[in-house]
Amino acid sequence: MSQNDRMAAAAHLHVALRRKTGRIIDTEWMVCNDEYARAMVDYARSKAHEEGDEDLLALANRLDAQLRHSRPVTSRTAPAPASASMAAQARDSLSHRYVGRLR
């Protein structure tokens, strides 16, 4: 499965969550970050079960299937860290910058 398929699944889930729950999520971050994507899948599933929404559940399952069959896209702006400590530093700095920009 291609990254385009994963992006499409993330985009569909984004639209459904915005319309049905008012929650706005970051589609590109779901493609790049498996942890965030899984959290959004879990959120969508919980809302789908609360509301009995089969369409939302199907979209969450679609993205979950994409997560199991594809690798995340690597950022073109951030080089891959050379060690585990550098990876932690990069993740912390990106996380801080990402969350800091949300309003």
Per-residue pLDDT in tens (0 to 9) along the chain, 103 residues: 578 888 999 999 999 999 998 989 999 988 888 999 999 999 999 999 999 999 999 999 999 998 887 654 544 444 444 445 555 555 555 555 555 555 5
Residue 89 DSSP SS3 = helix
pTM above 0.75, yes or no: no
What residue has token string 């589609």?
A: 27
Say if residues 59 and 13 touch (Cβ distance below 8 Å): yes
CA 31/CA 51 separation, integer angstroms: 26
Instruction: Write the burial class of residue 55 (CB in 10 Å: 0-12 exposed, 13-18 middle, 19+ buried).
Output: exposed
